[in-house]
Structure 1
Amino acid sequence: MKKIVFVLCAVALSNVGFAQKKYATFEAKIENRNSDKISIIGPKKYKKEIALNKDGFFKDTLKVADGMYQFYDGAESTMLYLKNGYDLKMKLNAKEFDETIVYEGKGAKENNFLAQNALYEEQFDYDTALASDELTFGKLLDAKKKTDAERLRKADLEPAFVALHQKSIDQNVAGLQEYYKENQAIKALNETPAPSFEYLNHKGGKTKLEDLRGKFVYIDIWATWCGPCRAEIPYLKQVEEKFHNKNIEFVSISIDTQKDQEKWKKFVNEKELGGIQLFADNDWNSAFVKQMGITGIPRFILIDPKGKIVNANADRPSSPKLIEVLEALLK
């Protein structure tokens, strides 16, 4: 659930303003680095890229608005708290990214708290909480909020940092509540008749859900611009191959905009995508997409041979659990 925490914490990228005329100095030594440069992204569209030397070292001065920033080494990232006047030194081993981050110098206390907080958040069982009933979920969330606030209070950190991190805690809770609410609405679709669709088929003509009656249908809602969607493609191909000639159809529905229809066709051809490739009639506003409560992609849906929804939020192709589920249904 780390990815959810980072998404929810993104709201903390706010700032106090250019309150000082000094610069912040920031240096780091990164062992086993993921990239030849690091990126720092923050408030007011702030972005700076800094090259690392052959030993994974850099030192630079930063004119910043006091606040929260995101530090990237390739795909790995961590939160930073920066202020003009800070003299911050970081050490980390990218092979164990979060576990090895340590700061020294002015500003180290707040940033060590952020580094340790990433590990602390991983200890919370988000999957269990989100799968629980509403009463239990509320109790778990209340307990977490109190624990987080108490932990922050005892850390004895700068008041400005405390205010920003408390805002992050509050936004985290609000985001989880909204995510839980959406999940519950999606779960309510299970065991109900699937809404119909009739979409353009890459091979010509149109295909509707009713054409696939008598078979299980595994649907992938995706788009060519969606990185996480593209990352699932190799796994989806493997699943399709494993269940070839079984009583199941694999259907991919693109929600690219109408102006990108040719882009979609080219993508399907170049990537040699299998299964049934369809193009939704009105991207995010397509009736099927809205009726299934789809607000983020990729999203996977499993429908039974009679047109009833087995799982409105099915496992991804990259999850080993999907193979188990399909094997049990198709044995």
Structure 2
Amino acid sequence: MKKLFFTALALISTLSGMAQKNKYMTFQGEIANKNGDAIYITDGKNKLIKKIQISSEGTFKDTMNVVPGRYGLSDGNEFTIVYLKNGFDLALKMDTKMFDESITYKGKGALENNFLAKNSLYEEQTDMGKLLAANEVDFLKGLEKKKADDLKRLENTKLDPVFIDLQKKTIDENYNGAVTCYKMNYEANLAKSKLANTMSPSFNYDNYAGGKTKLEDFKGKYVYIDVWATWCGPCRAEIPFLKKIEEKYHGKNISFVSISVDAQKDLDKWKALIKEKELGGVQLFADNNWNSQFIKEYGINSIPRFILIDPTGKIVNADAARPSSAELQVQLDAFLN
């Protein structure tokens, strides 16, 4: 009887220890080329859950009490999705120079988070801009294939069931959101087509180089405008291509203007990224992000967005080809050579 009593006590003690342990999770990591002194964990509503300090050597370690779910992880410049759950003992390793491509996890919770890291690379391979520009039949066909591929990658019985359910919910939300976006895009395309050969709305924005710059300052030149933001992955993916376009047409009768729709609170982040990436052209900061008059008059509700204006100020294309598209060079060669 006494033996059973002590066995029961030992079991209770063990269960109590497990319950105590599962009241929090441990998160540690090594970050090469860190952008700041902390990483930030946010929930689905972008509410700050935890700020974790990073040492001068780029290491961090902390504990968190979390509801199982998808969270945002940011180092101030870059952003990724993580799956967090009490009981995890998660270790992150990454290099901010490569970010998504370099992210790896070890420890308890690594399986789900390595899945998310790899999944973000799959997402980058999907050209949603091209898909949204397709006809309705091709759009739905492409979207159905993407959804099927996303679900196929979840067929791993070792993944946490809660994680699988959350991912399936996210896939459905993304699918429905894309359908809604397509309808909005179709209506927007009709409006953009009506802008061709009309005088462009103007702007007068703060210039990274100092002072203010307005559209009229470029009169007599073609103007290729890139509307973007520092947080926009597809926008940043176009940067290397834009640099090559700027280099190819340097000295030609064209100006390259980038307009950021970042929020005012991210002004310093915008300046830091321009310096870090050595961005060329004319770098401007819109006066009221998405609600800036120039942005509203062009009906811009998604980015990146490119606009081509002729030397008289008339709109050649209110939704011009991207720098990564061969179509852009064909069009510019016709005008500039």
Q: CA deviation at 1:180?
A: 3.4
Question: How big is the alpha-carbon RMSD for the aligned residues of Structure 1 and Structure 2?
Answer: 4.9
Structure 2, unpaired ranges of 5+: 1-20, 206-210, 263-279
Structure 1, unpaired ranges of 5+: 1-19, 257-272
Contact 2:52 2:61 in 1 (8 A): no
Please give the TM-score of this superposition, normalised by the length of structure 1.
0.63
Please give the TM-score of this superposition, normalised by the length of structure 2.
0.62
Number of equivalenced pairs = 285
Aligned to 1:327: 333
2:317 pairs with 1:311:
yes
Q: 1:73-84 alignment to 2 at 5 Å?
A: 73=75, 75-84=77-86
Q: 1:1-331 alignment to 2 at 5 Å?
A: 22-30=23-31, 32-43=32-43, 44-54=47-57, 56-73=58-75, 75-188=77-190, 189-190=192-193, 193-196=196-199, 217-218=222-223, 220=225, 227=230, 242=250, 246=253, 284=291, 286=293, 289-296=295-302, 299-304=305-310, 309-315=315-321, 325-331=331-337
**Counterparts of 2:334 and 2:307, CA distance in 1:** 16
**Counterparts of 1:151 and 1:254, CA distance in 2:** 35
Residue by residue over 1:204-262, the C-alpha shift from the partner in whole angstroms, topping out at 9 and shown as x without a partner, is xx999xxx7xx675364869xx6589x98x97xx68x9356x4x688899999xxxxxx
**Counterparts of 2:138 and 2:118, CA distance in 1:** 27
SS in structure 1 of the partner of residue 153 of structure 2: helix
**2:37 aligned partner, one-letter code:** K
Q: CA deviation at 1:82?
A: 0.9
Q: CA deviation at 1:141?
A: 0.4
**1:169 aligned partner, one-letter code:** I
Contact 1:186 1:312 in 2 (8 A): no
**Counterparts of 2:171 and 2:42, CA distance in 1:** 18
**2:28 aligned partner, one-letter code:** E
Sequence identity (%): 42
**Counterparts of 2:204 and 2:153, CA distance in 1:** 55
**1:301 aligned partner, one-letter code:** I
Q: CA deviation at 1:160?
A: 2.0
